[in-house]
Amino acid sequence: MQNLANRLQIRDFRLVQAIASTGQLVLAAERLAITQPAASRMLASLEKLIGVPLFVRHPKGMTPTPTGETLARNANSLLHGLDLTLQETEAAISGRAGSVRVGSVTGGAVGFVVPAIQQLKRMAEGADIHVDVAPSDVLIGGLLSGDYDFVLSRIPPGTDARQFAVKRGRVEIIRFLVRRDHPLTRREKLTIADMEGWEWVIQAPHTPMRQAVEEVFFSSGTPLPSEIVNTTSLLVMIGYLDSTDAVAPITREVAELVAPKGAQGRFVALDLDEPIVIHPYHMISLKSHTLSPLATRLRDLILDGLSLSG
């Protein structure tokens, strides 16, 4: 049986399937785009290999023997599975299917990863896409351990950047999110001094956003808030702001998502008279890692978005 399995070919299964479904050797030959004599020789060779007839010949055509019926029935599932495999393989090679894992800082995820995924899904409906949002140190750690194909991130201090392929991303502009009836919304021109005394909902001390905001407070001589809720969760931040007078520094991209200009929602994004700018994040991948066609396609879409908005 093992010897028979090694000698049977895909064309043998296609021939048996075609004859069983059409009942005519000439029609089966036409379906396979071969001549009738060639189909006849293939069938004779196959029956000799198996050792028993596969079809009964009669004036009106051909009907499968029990062995031929078994072979034809299993040929259907085998060839269907093969065709699906070939389709999926072709889709993966062309970047229309497969899996890709991306990590990003919040602003990059909202502003560029999500729109790129939406574009990609229109071209690759079967794509399996995973996105994580986290601080840069977590993202770079995940990239180094193989969790991500690429990340939108900053390179943490002390990390050897020579192992990375880096394409410049963009800076992030800080705005301040508050509930719509917050007292600060009545100020015509908001300065850093106006931010004194309010509770913060913000990322942890080591993050670039926290460092950028604190540096502006230090430079202006404004005391830091004494009450702080540390979180990287957008949902926690929104839930806390909804019922308090807290202030949350967020990126411009996130502000456009939760408090777009002109909207009458529950929150308002405020701008300082002198914007706070966080140093840029980048598109980062490992030099030693070859991106799949799907990952390459998503990366290029994100880069297109970054270049258009820069």
CATH of the domain at 176: 3.40.190.290
> What's the pLDDT tens digit per position in 21-74?
999 999 999 999 999 999 999 999 999 988 899 999 998 899 999 998 888 888
Q: What CATH number is given to the structural domain containing 30?
A: 1.10.10.10
Query: Is residue 250, in this structure, part of any structural domain at all?
Result: yes
pLDDT at 212 over 50: yes
Residues 216 and 188 in one domain: yes
Going by the DSSP 8-state scheme, the letter that residue 109 receives in this structure is I
pLDDT at 310 over 70: no
Query: Is residue 27, in this structure, part of any structural domain at all?
Result: yes
> What's the pLDDT tens digit per position in 113-131?
999 999 998 887 778 899 9
pLDDT at residue number 1: 46
Q: How far apart are CA 113 and CA 131, in angstroms?
A: 8
How many residues would you count in the chain?
310
- Structural domain boundaries, residue 113: 101-280
Residues 173 and 26 in one domain: no
Residues 201 and 247 in one domain: yes
Residues 164 and 187 in one domain: yes
Neighbours of 68 (CB within 10 A): 23
Going by the DSSP 8-state scheme, the letter that residue 272 receives in this structure is B
Number of domains observed in the structure of the chain = 2
**Contact between 274 and 203 (Cβ < 8 Å):** no
DSSP for 163-219, please give it: GEEEEEEEEEEEEEEEETT-GGGG-SSB-GGGGTT--EEE--TTSHHHHHHHHHHHH
